[in-house]
Amino acid sequence: MALLPDPVRLLNEAASRSAEAALALAGRERVRLAVTGLSRAGKTVFLTSLVANLVAAGAGRRTLPGLDLGEGRLRRARAIPPGVEATPRFDAEAHLAALAADPPEWPARTEDLSTLSLSLTLRRHGLYGQFLPDREVTLDLLDYPGEWLLDLPMFLQDFAAWSDETLARLSTGIRAAPAAEFLAFARALPANAPAEDSLARRGHALYRRFLLAARDELGLRFLQPGRFLNPGPAGDAPLLWFFPLPEAARGSPLGELLERRHAAYLRDQRDRFLDPVFRRFDRQVVLVDVLGALHAGREAFDDTAEALAAISGTLRYGRGWLDLLTGGGIGRVAFAATKADHVPEVSRDSLSSLLSDLVDAPRRRAEIAGAAVSVHAVAAIRCTQEATATHDGRPSPAVRGVLLENGRWATVDPGLVPARRPPESFWHAPYFQMPVFRPPGLDADGRGGVPHLGLDALLAGLLGDAL
């Protein structure tokens, strides 16, 4: 089952794009930016910082110096009030309030899809710009649980292929031990297993328990289906009660039930998440917690690379004639290693280079298709400062910040950040546990903007042509 739109949807989207093209000629344009990434990559924090800093820039603050908004060209930036949308609204105000609390708190884990649109009023370029009306650019943004992103590759497989691939992955390496109870249950199912919900729910519970352990204890990210880890506001439902099934039991009544639920799950995800999100955006930023993957060990690092490559294989890059008609195709892509403030300045080029190596396959695929691609190391909210640590009497670059757990200052030396995928010898050292730093004190209304690292350079590559 391929992730392809139906003809009616294509026609509707073509009509929508034609209408938007007419508005663009009148100085009213729309840019859709999808902020994507695996779980815990920092999408919500990124979006909150983006919104706060654009609004502050529109009020005259120099919060994004790397984005060409000088000489008062950005006259105003504001969130467009909600209308009658069915999709939940991204609550930037609530996230800013949490960051500005005493003590400050990081935003809670994203539990559902949400969107927000910003209206940007821009003075026109050029000698005659002063005689022309301002341009109005609508910037559409979205947030969603990172776990759901891994459902994209599932649309390219049927139940049998997905089961075979998943069971093979569960049987090797660090996955094997936490998956042992589920694998023993699944392999013991007879060829004539009955379609009983007691069996289906037992298998689902065991498989979900493995997924949670793989994410929370092992730092793995290639975990499917996404709603098993984060069901969203709908919570548990019968269409979730399935699991990968060995070939021997697939012809059984239980196998037929699980296959129907697998298909129903994908239909539901298409209608509620995939079509609203991945059919309409034309810019993409892919956030990656490179440091988290690096510190979790070789298998977690390789797992992150495999997950990103699988996701990239389902997206359409470039802007051909069909894309211009249907609204498909991603014209600009930025890959960003998050939490760049967790390493000292001398290591940030290496962090960016390591990300470029990690996403080599999706980066090349996007470039070949004609998309403009950039790679960055960013901190959407900077919560550390440069410092120096001492080891055996020798100084070494470090970072210093306030720890979230106890409110105390700490100087942390995260060690070497390799510029390329590390050799086998790198993984023999003990894994480093990066502490969680407290966000800096902020204005609750966000009018002063949010301190960051590299957000302006990233936005210049993604949005500079539109602004």
Q: How confident is the model at residue 18 (pLDDT cuts 50, 70, 90)?
A: very low
Domain shared by 334 and 447, yes or no: yes
**Does the pLDDT at position 291 exceed 60?**
yes
Residue 117's domain is classified under what CATH number? Answer: 3.40.50
The partner residues of 140 in beta bridges, in order of sequence, read: 32, 117
Range of the domain at 47: 7-106+111-144+284-382+442-463
Helix 253-269 × helix 197-216 angle, to 10°: 50
Could you tell me if residue 453 is inside a domain? Answer: yes
Domain shared by 295 and 362, yes or no: yes
CA–CA gap between residue 140 and residue 119 (Å, rounded): 9
Express as a percent the part of the chain with pLDDT over 90.
53
Could you tell me if residue 398 is inside a domain? Answer: no
Domain shared by 34 and 121, yes or no: yes
Q: What is the pLDDT of residue 44?
A: 92
Q: Which residues of 217-226 are buried (b: 16+ CB within 10 A; e: fewer)?
A: ebbbbbbbbb
- pLDDT (average), residues 338-355: 95
CA–CA gap between residue 382 and residue 60 (Å, rounded): 21
Q: What is the pLDDT of residue 437?
A: 94
Domain shared by 320 and 206, yes or no: no
Domain closes at, from 213, 245, 273: 273
Domain closes at, from 213, 247, 273: 273
**Does the pLDDT at position 22 exceed 70?**
no
The separation between CA 268 and the C-alpha centre of its own chain, rounded to angstroms, equals 20
Using DSSP's 3-state secondary structure scheme, residue 238 falls into helix
Domain shared by 366 and 456, yes or no: yes
Domain closes at, from 273, 294, 324: 273
Q: Identify whether the C-beta of residue 63 lies closer than 8 Å to the C-beta of residue 51.
A: no
Q: What is the pLDDT of residue 228?
A: 95
Q: Which two tokens stand for residue 284?
A: 């993409």
CA–CA gap between residue 383 and residue 391 (Å, rounded): 24
- pLDDT (average), residues 376-400: 92
Using DSSP's 3-state secondary structure scheme, residue 40 falls into coil
Q: What is the pTM of this model?
A: 0.88
Residues written for the chain: 467
Domain shared by 302 and 451, yes or no: yes
Q: How confident is the model at residue 66 (pLDDT cuts 50, 70, 90)?
A: confident
Domain shared by 71 and 162, yes or no: no
Domain shared by 101 and 202, yes or no: no
Q: Which two tokens stand for residue 184?
A: 């023993």
Q: How confident is the model at residue 20 (pLDDT cuts 50, 70, 90)?
A: very low
Domain shared by 196 and 292, yes or no: no
Domain shared by 308 and 376, yes or no: yes
Distance, first Cα to last Cα, the chain: 39
**Does the pLDDT at position 107 exceed 60?**
yes
> Which is it for strands 372-377 and 332-337: parallel, antiparallel or unpaired?
parallel
Could you tell me if residue 412 is inside a domain? Answer: no
The partner residues of 376 in beta bridges, in order of sequence, read: 336
Average pLDDT for the chain: 86
Could you tell me if residue 316 is inside a domain? Answer: yes
The partner residues of 401 in beta bridges, in order of sequence, read: 410
Domain shared by 305 and 245, yes or no: no
Q: Identify whether the C-beta of residue 279 lies closer than 8 Å to the C-beta of residue 323.
A: no
Number of domains in the chain: 2
Could you tell me if residue 120 is inside a domain? Answer: yes
Domain shared by 18 and 56, yes or no: yes
Q: How confident is the model at residue 431 (pLDDT cuts 50, 70, 90)?
A: low
**Does the pLDDT at position 454 exceed 50?**
yes
Give CA angle at 255 (241, 166), nearest 5°.
Answer: 70
Could you tell me if residue 95 is inside a domain? Answer: yes
pLDDT digits (tens, 9 = 90+) for 29-61: 999 998 888 888 899 999 999 999 999 999 888
- pLDDT (average), residues 434-456: 87
Q: How confident is the model at residue 225 (pLDDT cuts 50, 70, 90)?
A: very high
Could you tell me if residue 434 is inside a domain? Answer: no
Q: How confident is the model at residue 400 (pLDDT cuts 50, 70, 90)?
A: very high
Could you tell me if residue 34 is inside a domain? Answer: yes
